[in-house]
Amino acid sequence: MNNGNNIIEIRNLKKSYDKGKINALNGLDLEIKKGEFVSIMGPSGSGKSTLLNMIGALDRGDEGSIEVAGVDLMHKSSLNEFRSTEIGFVFQMHNLIPNLTVLENVEIPMYETKLSSKEMHQRALELLKSVNLEDKIDQNPTKLSGGERQRVAIARALVNHPSIILADEPTGALDSKTGDIILSLLKELHQKERVTLVMVTHEPYVAQMAGRIINVLDGRIESSNLT
């Protein structure tokens, strides 16, 4: 079904919770091209996070089809490997592990790969340098500011060279100046690494940074406009 340019193809995707009482996705259709940067907007409860969870294979849809990076997510049996190699997550709550160092937190997604501990160390260091945190590698995340933690989360998201970054309100918990730093970092990574970036935001000026803005309403795509 994939036309080659699309890294994400979703058709008539449905997802409900509470034994069908809550319809989070109501037959959603969406295509995203490889290397695109799209923003997703929409009211609270419209299904934005559910959509990202489906794309990132954190959860499975009930009906319809969803193909991401050439993988049929409705039928693939084990999703862990897909998730750790193809997807980088940057969420509002960065869920870093508090009793590990910054460097160790960035290394975690590589434990599932065949890299040696030296290679893991080098890769984590390289990414922490790229987010300007090389002087904090031995710190505990609890000692970092919100913006620094979000930069660790971005480094961790990139560690396995994912083809897609999913960012769910990545600046939602930050002050606007720190948020702007995180956004320019994401944008730079998108340009440099040619990664596909899908970002949920409720700020119109943030959404404008993407090449396309997708509006979600009641679990469907309401509109999609190039910026």
84 near ligand ADP (CB under 6 A): no
Q: Is 46 in the site for ligand ADP (CB under 6 A)?
A: yes
Please identify which residue in 1, 3, 4, 18 interacts with ligand ADP, judged by CB under 6 A.
18
The nearest distance, CB 46 to ligand ADP, in angstroms, is: 4
Asked if 93 is part of the footprint of ligand ADP (rule: CB under 6 A), the reply reads: no
Q: Does 48 bind ligand ADP (CB under 6 A)?
A: yes
56 touches ligand ADP (CB under 6 A): no
Residue 17 binding target from ligand ADP, Mg ion, none, CB below 5 to 8 Å by type: ligand ADP
Residue pair 161/167 in contact (Cβ under 8 Å)? The answer is no
State yes or no: residue 201 binds ligand ADP (CB under 6 A).
Answer: no
94 and 153 Cβ atoms separated by less than 8 Å: yes
Answer yes or no whether residue 147 interacts with ligand ADP by CB under 6 A. Answer: no
SS3 content of the chain, % helix, strand, coil (to 5): 35, 30, 35
Q: Which one of 27-35, 37-45, 124-132, 188-196 is the stretch in contact with ligand ADP (CB under 6 A)? A: 37-45
| H runs (alpha helix) in the chain | 48-55, 80-86, 102-107, 117-130, 146-158, 176-193, 204-207
**Identity of the residue, 84 or 201, whose beta carbon is nearer to Mg ion in the bound complex:** 201
- Residue 93 to residue 171: CA distance in whole angstroms: 10
Footprint of Mg ion on 123-182 (CB under 5 A): none
Who's near 16: CB < 8 A, 6+ residues apart? 22, 23, 24, 62
Of 49, 150, 160, 163, the one binding ligand ADP (CB under 6 A) is 49
Sequence-distant (6+) residues with CB within 8 A of 53 are 59
Tell me how crowded residue 208 is: count the other CB atoms within 10 A of its CB. Answer: 11
Please, which of residues 48-77 interact with Mg ion by CB under 5 A? 48-49
**Segment interacting with Mg ion (CB under 5 A) among 42-50, 59-67, 74-82, 158-166:** 42-50
Could you give the CA distance from residue 137 to residue 125 in angstroms, rounded to a whole number? 8
Q: What span, in angstroms and rounded, lies between the C-alpha atoms of 36 and 19?
A: 35
From the list Mg ion, ligand ADP, none, pick the one residue 215 interacts with, judged by a Cβ distance below 5 to 8 Å according to partner type: none
The entry of ligand ADP, Mg ion, none that residue 27 binds, CB within 5 to 8 Å by partner kind: none
Q: Would residue 20 be called left, alpha or beta, if left means φ above 0 and alpha means ψ between -120 and 50 degrees?
A: left
Binding site for Mg ion (CB under 5 A): 48-49
Binding site for ligand ADP (CB under 6 A): 17-18, 22, 24, 42, 44-50
